[in-house]
């Protein structure tokens, strides 16, 4: 089973040179730490920044410069600041190539739930519905099962959904999976030491297991 950091590290391998990328809160934020130096990519923060840099040093901290997770950040050279309407115009207009975000549930046809647990949690969807409705490619970072051991890769989402048929790829602590256009989770890679049958056990939705499923590789 992968740690959060390893999930982030694996997702980083999906990133291509020249991409504009929006990273959600949680594991997705960690992906920034694993982007290879030789790639030129730009991180977008939906609260109004292109070109997120590293966390600031103590004396650089600026309350007026935060990311979408409300963390203090810095800017890289060549950054641009803008308002929220412009930011979501960018997202909705398909200018952001890749969105990486967390999920509570994903269904075998690519629906995603990550904003509400009726009667329990009412935090709101933030920018997630806009992101999943428009980004060219969506990768989900999540735990394969809940704390109670129940699968979060389902036939159908039980929680209120964030978007319909939008997820293409999922990286969990157990596996990398692709969602097929006709539905179903296709197993692409296994976490080191995790067998396909274990993944099958922990996947409620339809799992397609090719004859060869390599283990994930990390540098």
194 is a site residue for another protein (CB under 8 A): no
Pick the binder of another protein from 37, 38, 93, 219 (CB under 8 A): 93
56-67 in b/e burial notation, b at 16+ Cβ within 10 A? eeeeeeeeebeb
Site for another protein in 154-183 (CB under 8 A): 160-164
Report which of 136, 142, 133 is spatially closest to residue 106, judged by C-alpha positions: 142
Q: Is 46 a catalytic residue?
A: yes
Radius of gyration of the chain from its Cα atoms, rounded to whole angstroms: 17
If you count them, how many residues does the chain have? 219
Please say which residue, 93 or 193, places its beta carbon nearer to another protein.
93
- Torsion over CA of 118, 121, 123 and 129, rounded to 10 degrees? -40
Pick the binder of another protein from 1, 14, 56, 137 (CB under 8 A): 56
CB of 177 to another protein, least distance (A): 22
CA angle 209, 212, 215 (to 5 degrees): 95
Known catalytic residues are 46
- Contacting positions for another protein (CB under 8 A): 18, 20, 40-42, 44-51, 54-58, 61-67, 69-73, 75-96, 111, 116, 122-130, 133-134, 160-164
């Amino acid at each position: 089973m992968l740690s959060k950091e390893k999930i982030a590290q694996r997702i980083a391998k999906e990133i291509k040179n020249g991409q504009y990328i929006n990273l959600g809160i949680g594991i997705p934020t960690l992906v920034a730490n694993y982007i290879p130096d030789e790639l030129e990519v730009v991180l977008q923060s939906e609260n109004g920044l292109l070109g997120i840099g590293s966390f600031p040093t103590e004396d650089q901290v600026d309350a007026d410069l935060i990311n979408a997770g409300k963390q203090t950040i810095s800017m890289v050279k060549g950054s641009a600041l803008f308002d929220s309407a412009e930011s979501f115009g960018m997202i909705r207009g398909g200018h952001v190539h890749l969105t990486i975000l967390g999920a509570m549930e994903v269904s075998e046809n690519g629906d995603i739930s990550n904003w509400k647990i009726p009667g329990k949690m009412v935090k709101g969807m933030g920018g997630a519905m806009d992101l999943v409705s428009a980004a060219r490619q969506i990768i989900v970072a999540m735990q394969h099962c809940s704390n109670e051991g129940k699968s979060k890769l389902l036939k159908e989402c039980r929680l209120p959904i964030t978007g319909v048929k939008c997820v293409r790829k999922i990286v969990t602590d157990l596996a990398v999976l692709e969602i097929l256009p006709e539905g179903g989770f296709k197993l692409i890679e296994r976490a080191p030491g995790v067998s396909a049958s274990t993944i099958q056990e922990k996947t409620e939705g339809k799992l397609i297991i090719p004859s060869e499923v390599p283990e994930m590789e990390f540098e």
